[in-house]
Amino acid sequence: MTKGKDVLINAVENAIKKANPTMLNLIKYYLRTNVKSDFSLAYEHPKKFKEILTNLLGEYSTRLLEMIIIKDVIVSLGLSNDFSSLEELVETIKESGE
């Protein structure tokens, strides 16, 4: 696993734990049963990951989580840019080879 992917997955888990720990297992279960995936979906297909979250949590809560995740990853990887979406962030991580 790349460092960037690792950091992103941790950021997703931390954001959900912070937001509502009781949702953590439910989201994991939902990802596993509906798309046969886990939090790595945020790195592999960020748009799809957001769609799954939106189905479960609503669009507004998904945007909140997205902002928290982006902030967390920027700090952890020491990135200087600002990103308006998870897709933009993942693209940059992938391009940088992190």
Positive or negative CA dihedral for 10, 19, 27, 52? Answer: negative
Q: In the complex with another protein, which residue's Cβ is closer, 58 or 96?
A: 58
Out of 13, 38, 45, 67, point to the residue binding another protein (CB under 8 A). Answer: 67
Show the tokens assigned to 29.
Answer: 């279960």
**Contact positions with another protein (CB under 8 A) in 10-49:** 18-20, 22-23, 25-26, 29
Q: In the complex with another protein, which residue's Cβ is closer, 27 or 93?
A: 27
Q: Are 7 and 76 in contact (CB under 8 A)?
A: yes
Q: In the complex with another protein, which residue's Cβ is closer, 7 or 27?
A: 27
| Helix or strand holding residue 11 (H, E) | helix 3-19
